[in-house]
Amino acid sequence: MSKKAFVTREQIEEITKTYPTPFHIYDEKGIRENAQALREAFSWNKGFKEYFAVKATPNPFLIDILREYGCGCDCSSLTELMLCSAMGVEGRDIMFSSNDTPAEEFEYAAKMGATINLDDFTHIDFLEKTIGRLPETISCRYNPGGLFKITTDIMDNPGDAKYGFTTEQLFEGFRILKEKGVKHFGIHAFLASNTVTNEYYPMLAKILFETAVKLKRETGVHIKFINLSGGIGIPYTPDQEPNDIRVIGDGVRRVYEEVLIPEGMGDVAIYTELGRFMLGPYGCLVTKAIHQKHTHKEYIGVDACAVNLMRPAMYGAYHHITVMGKEKQPCDCKYDIAGSLCENNDKFAIDRMLPKIEIGDLLVIHDTGAHGFSMGYNYNGKLKSAEILLREDGKAQLIRRAETPADYFATFDCFEVGRGLLGSRMP
């Protein structure tokens, strides 16, 4: 499989007349087609609902597109809840999945009528004391521990993760919740991240479905919904084949019919909390080559840095790079593609074979639609970029302006030095 940018060099050149690089740009057409495919893949389940993981790309313009396809929002913090509230997303359309949760965040989520997904056994008591009651609907996050394997391949290590109830805690927790008057119950699990296989969701579903059956038998709790969370990944490298969401949905259906239907649990709703899968391939970071450096290696310096995309610096993650206008040229030059931070890991690629790059060339860094802009920070006083939506008609719409020095200094506004900075002429 090859990777082709959804935006052309000509479109980028036109956009840069108004919005300078670097910037993140998103593909409306691709987002819509993918959201529709997900909805169709799980249409066999009457209660199915996708709760978009807001943490992946917290932009109201993109969230609004997903809402057209019935998506709710999965929130993990106060500000994410506030964003959704401002958009009119409340009640059943909010799933609040947090950990080490401050009291005020539980209070806000409860006030919104969000479905609260508890991460820890002790949070039962903490939530009740915080809001003075327990909601009628509660979900609990399950962590069975150990290693999660598909055939002989280890996908992830849930036993090393800080999240969720143990098996014993889950069963005791539901007994307590039932005794305290909770009426509707859900279970949630996230056992592997960024899986590029159609087998992950069906295998996870079987674990959770069998757990739901056992919970019903041993505690009398009827599980109303089962949240498969996220974990469906995307092919960051050109040699990977993308997941087929229709195959995945059908795999979950078969397990549903095998495990739940015979137990009289055919009313259980299936939820998902996808972020990377929903938006990852439909965003890219556009940057410009501004320097060349010839030392022990060949470097191309670009005007983006880890502030704009942290994953390569943080994880050594691969993101494919296209030199716009040179797609058909041979990749016969070896480069490190570097940003300007005072950290040696601020590199988008190391020893990457690419076409010969000239100063002024535009580079597209692929698959930044999720966990791209949102993971940015302000180290070295660098400012976060604009976000742009490429509409279906080919027009570009600004959906977040770039940060300014005034934004960076805003938290000093209560001090004399801050007032001086904010009152000075900003570039």
pLDDT of residue 146: 61
378 and 307 Cβ atoms separated by less than 8 Å = yes
Q: Which of 258, 270, 259 is nearest to 46 (CA)?
A: 270
Residue keyed to tokens 């998103």: 26
Average pLDDT over residues 21-47: 98
- Model pLDDT for residues 290-323, shown as the tens digit of each residue: 999 999 999 999 999 999 999 999 999 999 999 9
pLDDT of residue 193: 83
Shared domain check, 152 and 74: yes
Task: Report the CATH number that the domain containing residue 58 is assigned in CATH.
Answer: 3.20.20.10
The two tokens of residue 318 are 């691969």
The two tokens of residue 322 are 């296209």
Shared domain check, 319 and 188: no
- Whether 155 shows a pLDDT value over 90: the answer reads no
Phi, psi of 243 (to 5 degrees): -65, 150
Distance CA 324, CA 263 (A): 56
Q: How many CB atoms lie within 10 A of CB 405?
A: 14
Shared domain check, 369 and 294: yes
86 part of a folded domain: yes
Distance CA 115, CA 75 (A): 10
Q: Which domain holds residue 330?
A: 281-412
Least confident of 176-190, 318-332, 346-360, 406-420: 406-420
pLDDT of residue 412: 92
- Model pLDDT for residues 224-282, shown as the tens digit of each residue: 999 999 999 999 999 999 999 999 999 999 999 999 999 999 999 999 999 999 999 99
421 part of a folded domain: no
Shared domain check, 219 and 112: yes
**1 — pLDDT class (breaks 50, 70, 90):** low
Least confident of 64-73, 139-148, 317-326, 412-421: 139-148
Cα Dmax for the chain: 71
Q: Which of 231, 253, 280 is the last residue of a domain?
A: 280
Q: Which of 250, 280, 310 is the last residue of a domain?
A: 280
Average pLDDT over residues 179-204: 93
* Average pLDDT value for the chain: 94
- Whether 423 shows a pLDDT value over 90: the answer reads no
What is the DSSP pairing of strand 137-141 with strand 148-150? unpaired
Q: Which of 234, 382, 195, 230 is nearest to 319 (CA)?
A: 234
Q: Which of 248, 280, 312 is the last residue of a domain?
A: 280
Helix ranges restricted to H, 261-371? 276-279, 311-315
- Whether 212 shows a pLDDT value over 70: the answer reads yes
What single-letter amino acid sits at 350?
I
The two tokens of residue 142 are 């399950």
Shared domain check, 228 and 150: yes
**141 — pLDDT class (breaks 50, 70, 90):** very high
Model pTM score: 0.94
Distance CA 360, CA 343 (A): 24
β-bridge mates for residue 334, sequence order? 353
The two tokens of residue 282 are 């439909």
- Whether 426 shows a pLDDT value over 60: the answer reads no
pLDDT of residue 190: 87
pLDDT of residue 160: 65
Quote the percentage of the chain above a pLDDT of 90.
90
Q: How many CB atoms lie within 10 A of CB 381?
A: 9
**152 — pLDDT class (breaks 50, 70, 90):** very low
β-bridge mates for residue 362, sequence order? 288
Least confident of 158-167, 190-199, 200-209, 408-417: 158-167
Distance CA 164, CA 158 (A): 9
- Whether 119 shows a pLDDT value over 60: the answer reads yes
Shared domain check, 286 and 275: no
**DSSP per residue over 79-94, as a string?**
HHHHHHHHTT--GGGE
Distance CA 353, CA 338 (A): 14
pLDDT of residue 177: 97
The two tokens of residue 272 are 């998902």
Distance CA 135, CA 163 (A): 21
Q: How many CB atoms lie within 10 A of CB 239?
A: 7
Task: Report the CATH number that the domain containing residue 398 is assigned in CATH.
Answer: 2.40.37.10
Please, what sign has the CA dihedral across residues 220, 224, 230, 231?
Answer: positive
Beta-carbon contacts of residue 160 (< 8 Å; ≥ 6 apart): none
Distance CA 110, CA 107 (A): 5
pLDDT of residue 422: 78
What is the DSSP pairing of strand 362-365 with strand 321-323? antiparallel
Shared domain check, 276 and 299: no
Residue keyed to tokens 């970071």: 285
pLDDT of residue 154: 42
Segment holding 287, helix H or strand E:
strand 283-294
